[in-house]
Amino acid sequence: MTEKNKNILSINANILYIMMQITNNGMFLYLLKKELHSSCRIQATFVYIKKFTNKIGIQTRKNMRKIIIISSLYLCVVQVLTGQNCKLTNAIDVEKQLDYCDTQIKKTIDEAYNDTCGLPRNIDATETQWNLTNIYDWTSGFWPGILWYNYEVTQDESIKKTAINYTESLKPLTTPEHQNDHDIGFQIFCSYGNAYRQTQDARYKQIILKGAEKLAGLYNPKVGTILSWPNMVEKMNWPHNTILDNMMNLEILFWASKNGGKKEWYDMAVNHAKATKENQYRKDGTGYHVAIYDTITGKFIKGVNQQGYGDNSFWARGQAWSIYGFTMVYRETGETEFLRFAEKLADVYLARLPEDYVPYWDFDDPAIPNAPKDASSAAITASALLELSQLEDHLQKATEYKEAALKMLQNLSSDPYLSGKAKPSFLLHSTGNYPGGYEIDASINYADHYYIEALVRYKKIVEKQSLKAIFLHK
Cβ burial, residue 184 (10 Å; 0-12/13-18/19+): buried
Q: Which residue is catalytic, options 115, 137, 156, 245? A: 245
The DSSP bridge partners found for residue 279 are none
What are the residues whose beta carbons fall under 8 Å from the beta carbon of 367, sequence distance 6 or more?
none
For the chain, give the percent of residues with pLDDT over 70: 78
- Annotated binding-site residue? 321: yes
User: pLDDT at position 42, please?
Assistant: 37
Q: What is the pLDDT of residues 375-423, one digit of tens each?
A: 999 999 999 999 999 999 999 999 999 999 999 999 999 999 999 999 9
Ligand-binding annotation for 317, yes or no, is yes
As a whole number, mean pLDDT of residues 195-217 equals: 98
Q: Is the pTM of this model over 0.75?
A: yes
Sheet with strand 17-23: strands edge to edge: 7-12, 17-23, 26-32, 45-49
Query: Annotated catalytic, 183?
Result: yes
The tens digit of pLDDT for each residue in 27-84 reads: 444 444 333 333 333 333 333 333 344 444 444 445 555 555 555 554 444 444 333 3
**365 labelled binding-site residue:** no
Neighbouring C-beta atoms of residue 153, cutoff 10 Å: 18
* Catalytic, out of 183, 364, 374, 448: 183
pLDDT score for 469: 57
CA distances for 427 relative to 104, 373, 375, 378, 382, angstroms: 10, 12, 7, 11, 14
If phi > 0 it is left, if psi is from -120 to 50 it is alpha, else beta; for residue 30 that is: beta
Is 156 an annotated catalytic residue?
no
Pick from 267, 278, 272: which is nearest to 226 by CA?
A: 272
245 known member of a binding site: yes
Q: Is 320 helix (H, G, I), strand (E, B) or coil?
A: helix
Is 183 annotated to bind ligand?
Answer: yes
